[in-house]
Amino acid sequence: MSTLDKIKAKRQAARESAAQSSPPPDTAARPPLNPLDLLRAKRGAVDPAGADLTQDEPTIPEAAPPRPAAPPPGTLQQYQDAIDAAQAAWQVHPALSEGRTEAKRKLLLQIMPFVEAYIADGAAYPNSVAVEAMILLLDTGDIERGLSLGLILAAQDCHIMPKRFQGKNLRHQVVRLTLDWAIAQLKAAQPAAPYLDQLLQAMDTEPGRWELNPILRGEAYALAAKHAAQAQDWPAGVDWCLKAQAANPKGAGVKTLLNQCLAAANNEGAPAQETAQP
């Protein structure tokens, strides 16, 4: 064998030796997964060999849960029956008496969990129990919860008032009951803020939905003017008087108050000659 042939043979032997000492590539097929392994891999988004299976998977946003269209069968009627029974029972107490007010507060303790769950669930179906709760809250002087509930129900636009309100719509009654409370506050020389302001803001932000008769709308603005005058906020008193006259040109009843507020606003710091009264 020539020297060149010996070199070639030596190189070939070295290649074969290196090939035998290197581990073969992992070309064996993976063993089939049993059903339990498949379930675990699916839940964990990781295959049994440790590969992350979620890197290329698109994220699918969760759909918002549907708003309940109706209460559980029988639930609404059960609460309404309890309201009817309580209303019949408290007739033995004179109107506006402490006994009747206390009976209303006890009824609220019964029905408010249902009403609060209705609001928390984002439900929007005609709910006579929620309407009765709003009336009771405002009737018993709980203006914070009563007005808040009233504005929510007004925005849902699917509720009707009980028959005893003779066809008045819910927005009309929210305004009427809130104004009754604000009148009592004025007589007691107490402010009506922030609740009267919240009501007026709702009325002015959505005038098309708060379709009130001119007398009631004018009364709301006039009452705001009286509260402003009581607080000696004369510019606000002027503004509310003008809005009352615009809403009810013939019967706003704020001409004298407007003149007082104008005079005081022009001479800021001087006390008003009279305190506005309802």
- How does DSSP assign 161-198, residue by residue? --GGGTT--HHHHHHHHHHHHHHHHHHTT---TTHHHH
Compute CA distances 5 → 89, 132, 219, whole Å: 121, 109, 119
* Alpha carbon distance 72, 81 (integer Å): 15
**Per residue of the chain (278 residues), what is the pLDDT tens digit?**
544 455 456 556 656 665 565 555 554 445 444 444 543 444 454 444 444 444 444 455 555 556 666 666 568 999 999 999 999 999 888 887 888 899 999 999 999 999 999 999 999 999 999 999 999 999 999 999 999 999 999 999 999 999 998 888 999 999 999 999 999 999 999 999 999 999 999 999 987 789 999 999 999 999 999 999 999 999 999 999 999 999 999 999 999 999 999 999 998 755 444 444 44
Global pTM reads 0.70
Residue type, 108: L
Could you give phi then psi for residue 46, rounded to 5 degrees? -135, 135
* Alpha carbon distance 210, 7 (integer Å): 104
Residue 69's pLDDT is 63
Residue 175's pLDDT is 97
Could you give phi then psi for residue 52, rounded to 5 degrees? -75, 120
Say whether 124 sits in a helix, a strand or coil. coil
The three-point CA angle 144-71-81 to 5° equals 75
User: What are the domain boundaries of the chain?
Assistant: 74-212, 214-268
Tokens representing 148 are: 């808040």
Measured N-to-C along each axis, helices 75-89 and 128-139 cross at an angle, to the nearest 10 degrees, of: 40
Tokens representing 153 are: 């129900």
